[in-house]
Chain A
Amino acid sequence: AQSVSQHNHHVILSEAASLELGCNYSYGGTVNLFWYVQYPGQHLQLLLKYFSGDPLVKGIKGFEAEFIKSKFSFNLRKPSVQWSDTAEYFCAVNPHNNNDMRFGAGTRLTVKP
C-alpha cells in the first residue's frame, strides 16, 4: 500500500514569511494528489488537488503546490503567510482509479503575528 510522508511536524513562521511544506509519497503508479487544511477546531477542507496536466496547481487562499513526478513529491507553497494560515496541513494521495486515499501525519503551521 502507498504511504505519505510529511517531513515537518511543526513549522513556526512570522507573518509575510514564505512557506514550503514537504510531502513525499511511495506509490509506483499514477496518483491523484491533495492538500487539505484543518483550522483549529474544524474539519478538513480541500486546499488544492492535482490530477494531471500542469504540475503546478493553484488552490485557494494563495496556496500552490508542485508535483515533481521524479521525486514523488507534492510540496505546498505560499509566498507570504498570514496569521490566519495557522492550521494543520495534510497531504493525501489516492491511486488513480482506485479510491484508497492515504493521508500524511500532518504538519502544524503556526504563524506569529
Chain B
Amino acid sequence: EAQVTQNPRYLITVTGKKLTVTCSQNMNHEYMSWYRQDPGLGLRQIYYSMNVEVTDKGDVPEGYKVSRKEKRNFPLILESPSPNQTSLYFCASSPDRNGIYGYTFGSGTRLTVV
C-alpha cells in the first residue's frame, strides 16, 4: 500500500531532550515536507526537501533540523525541544517537484513537550 509512515504517533518528552520523528514513504516521491498543525493556524511548513541531500527552510524552521540521506526517509529532529513546539506534526510527500498532484500525508505525530 502506498503510504507515508510516521513514528511515533504520540510522544511526551521533557524540555531539552533531543528527539527524532521519523518519516518514510514507499512511493519513490521526490518531494517531502514537514508541517506543524496548530489550532487556528492551519498547517505551517517547517522544512522541505526537493530530493536527496536537498533541503530548505519553510515558514517556521527555528528549533528544527532535517536530513534527506535517502529518497524514502525524511526525519525531523528537535535538538532541544521547548514547550512551544508542542504541536501536531505531519510529514507529506509528492511525486514531483511542482506538487501538482497534491500531497500524501502521514498519520501525524502528536508531540507534547513539558
Report B-chain residues with C-beta under 8 Å of the C-beta of A46.
102-104
Question: Is residue A82 contacting chain B, with contact meaning CB distance below 8 A?
Answer: no
B107, CB-defined interface residue at 8 Å: yes
Let me know if A70 is at the binding interface, CB within 8 A. no
Whether A9 pairs with B108 at a CB distance below 8 angstroms is: no
What 6 A-B pairs are tightest by C-beta distance, nearest first? A105-B42, A99-B99, A103-B43, A43-B105, A46-B102, A44-B105
Give the interface of B toward A (CB within 8 A): 31, 33, 35, 40-45, 48, 50, 90, 92, 94, 96-108
A-B contact pairs, 28 of them (CB 8 A): A4-B42, A6-B42, A32-B99, A32-B100, A42-B108, A43-B90, A43-B105, A43-B108, A44-B90, A44-B103, A44-B105, A45-B105, A49-B101, A90-B42, A94-B100, A96-B98, A99-B48, A99-B94, A99-B97, A99-B98, A99-B99, A100-B99, A101-B33, A101-B45, A101-B99, A105-B40, A105-B41, A105-B42
Shortest Cβ distance from residue A45 to the other chain B in the assembled complex, whole angstroms: 7
Does A51 reach chain B (CB closer than 8 Å)?
yes
**A25 an interface residue at 8 Å Cβ cutoff?**
no
Q: Are A99 and B42 in contact (CB under 8 A)?
A: no
- Per the bound structure, the CA–CA distance linking A78 and B40 in Å amounts to 24
Contacts of B35 in A (CB 8 A): 103
Chain A residues, Cβ within 8 Å of B97: 99
10 more A-B contacts (CB under 8 A) besides A4-B42, A43-B106, A43-B107?
A6-B42, A9-B40, A32-B98, A32-B100, A46-B104, A99-B98, A99-B99, A103-B42, A104-B42, A105-B40
